[in-house]
Amino acid sequence: MARRTLWVALVALVGLFLASPTARAADEPSITGTYDCVGDNGDGKEYKGKVTISKKGDTYILEWTIGKETHFGIGLLRGNTLSSSWATEVDGKVVKGIVIYKVQKNKLVGEWAQYPGDGKVLKETLTRSSD
């Protein structure tokens, strides 16, 4: 009897595990598209740019164009939270970091940090473009 109970529990657990990606995908908001980007540089100045988000399998590919620099990232969407890495090259050095966005209607509101960096957490907002 104990073996059967253990077996039923194991089968139920595997079923939940296998079902969760499908359920998660159905609950996730649609975030692909082009966004206007506004953020805090940490020096009291604001930066602006464009961000493109596309889906590749279960991941999201992000490309920020800010001034003359292009940043590339790969992200995961879980519920209403998008987490992404990012990297770019500045003066021959690779700069990288993370950003976490809360998905809202037509907007992603985020916080980001850089490595190497000074440990500051800065703000960035993406607003869906009309073009």
**pLDDT tens-digit series, residues 64-105:** 999 999 999 999 999 999 999 999 998 889 999 999 999 999
Ranges of H-type helices in the chain: 2-27
**How far is Cα 120 from Cα 114, in angstroms, rounded to an integer?**
8
| Res. 39: pLDDT tops 70 | yes
**pLDDT tens-digit series, residues 100-109:** 999 999 999 9
| Cis peptide bond upstream of 21, omega within 30 | no
Query: CA nearest 51: which of 39, 31, 37?
Result: 37
**pLDDT tens-digit series, residues 2-32:** 444 333 333 333 333 333 444 455 577 899 9
Query: CA nearest 107: which of 89, 91, 126?
Result: 126
**pLDDT tens-digit series, residues 50-61:** 999 999 999 999
* pLDDT value of residue 17: 38
* pLDDT value of residue 90: 86
Whether residue 49 contacts residue 67, with contact meaning beta carbons closer than 8 Å, is answered with yes
**Going from the N-terminus, what domains does the chain have, and what CATH number goes with each?**
29-128 (2.40.128.120)
* pLDDT value of residue 95: 92
